[in-house]
Amino acid sequence: MLALLAKYPTPKALRHAGKHRVETLLRKQAPRAWKRWATAIFIALDGQTVVVSGTDAAGLVLPQLATSLAQTRQSRDEVFARIEELVEAHPLFGLLTSMPAVGVRTAARILTEVVRKDFESAGHLASYAGLAPVTWRSGTSIRGDHSSRRGNKILKRALFLSAFAALKDPLSRAYYDKKRAEHKKHNQALIALARRRCNVLYAMLRDGAYFHAPEVAAAA
């Protein structure tokens, strides 16, 4: 869509280009959505009855902004690609990604937020990640266990999303279903799964051992 704004920034420019040229440009940029987008654009153009003041001025500014944003996105993609290369070259990459649903981005988060930090136990790592349950108390009443709002939010999000992706793994799914059967809500069950996977991650890093499902299942 940025390429379209850069080349045809105003309704007048779009009309002058015609639907065929717009479709050709969109087809290159969005192979799956180009036809739907082109149809929506020209339906909107056909229904336009008012020309907004300043449209011509916007036509001068929008191409520059669109081009600048496209360049920024390209630079971002190049940085991400370089980060992935560095992560994949790390000695612990194979170990980390041996765990189901741990890909390059999750491994990168673990490497930056966990590796080279000293944790006395799996519980300490879980607490650092904000995955250790805490009991909420109000006066004499106890509201039960909830996930902590403290901890490393970046790591917590990475492990939470990884746990969600791990639901495709039979072992992780079984644990999630078990927690749901215990009347935990979806997010609570995912947090519990993330905590369990955090325990496994701690053991893997401590022992330098790759993930092995049968051993984890036997220890559960």
pLDDT in tens, 91-140: 999 999 999 999 999 999 999 999 889 999 999 999 999 998 765 555 55
Query: Do 77 and 168 belong to one domain?
Result: no
Domain containing residue 70 = 2-89
Query: What per-residue confidence (pLDDT) applies to 202?
Result: 96
Query: Do 83 and 110 belong to one domain?
Result: no
Token readout for 161 is 């999303």
Question: 178-202 burial, b if ≥16 CB within 10 A, otherwise e?
Answer: ebeeeebeeebbbbbbbbbbbbbbb
pLDDT-flagged residues of the chain (< 50): 142, 144, 215-220
Query: What per-residue confidence (pLDDT) applies to 139?
Result: 55
Q: How far is CA 73 from the centre of its chain?
A: 17
Helix (H) or strand (E) holding 186: helix 186-207
Given 67, 89, 111, which residue is the final one in a domain? 89
Query: What per-residue confidence (pLDDT) applies to 107?
Result: 96
Query: What per-residue confidence (pLDDT) applies to 23?
Result: 93
Long-range contacts of 20-27 (CB under 8 A, 24+ apart): 26/1
